[in-house]
Amino acid sequence: MALRKLEPGALVGEQVFDAIHGAIMSGDLPAGHRLRIRDLAAELGTSVMPVREAIRRLEENGLAEAIPYKGAVVKGFTLEELLHVYAVRRLLEVEATRLGAAAVTAPMLDDMRFEYRSMREALAEGRIADYLDHDERLLALLYAASGNPVLVEMIRTLWRRCRSYKIVGAQRAVESGESALLWTYQEKLLEAASAHDPDAAARISDDSVAAATERIRATLVGSFHVS
């Protein structure tokens, strides 16, 4: 694994949660990976109690699940969850895009363009987790322009829950030579937002989430044999 020893003197519980959460978000702890409490505690250099509490929090956030006779594992893939999570994402993100595109400011657009360039660079270098981070920052800037922080936080929560799905979808696009699918929608979204065209931006957002859903669905069926 790729977990680092904790810093002395800081809040151990938060460090443990952040370390395991970060490893899941980056794909270092992939879907189905067993979260062995004693192994994680040894790697992090801590006792088992904060690790146990961190796993409980991960389960509450939908990132881990308890399997009978096996213990906690990083949440696995199911088509049912994919379709449910992405259906809610589609509802929220299309509306956030519509509201954001009507109110986004020039400085926000500059920041979005920076994230877009960084996203393209990460993708070209095969850094999938970094690509996803920049993609989410780009979108979060636009959604924040909606002026509704509750809406943005709900979307962020869904992003965390479906991070493993997003990783496999992006990897599929890269491996199949279709990397352009991972940035063309963002390019169009930037154009629509720059023109302050909420209807066009909303259509692009809807198409983007729908395309991501189908890309990940095909990956799960073809590679993970889920039903």
pLDDT in tens, 20-62: 988 887 788 888 889 999 999 999 999 999 999 999 998 888 8
At the topology level, CATH places domain 12-74 in Arc Repressor Mutant, subunit A (1.10.10)
Q: Where are the chain's structural domains?
A: 12-74, 79-224
- Nearest by Cα to 54 from 44, 10, 7: 44
pLDDT at position 154, please?
A: 97
Q: What is the pLDDT of residues 66-124, one digit of tens each?
A: 988 888 988 877 889 889 999 999 999 999 999 999 999 999 999 999 999 999 999 99
Q: Given this structure, which CATH class describes domain 79-224?
A: mainly alpha
Torsion angle defined by CA atoms of residues 94, 168, 127 and 51, in that order, rounded to the nearest 10 degrees: 100
Sequence-distant (≥ 6) Cβ neighbours of residue 67 within 8 angstroms: 73
Q: What percent of the chain has pLDDT over 70?
A: 93
User: Over the chain, what is the mean pLDDT?
Assistant: 90
Is pTM beyond 0.85? Reply is: no
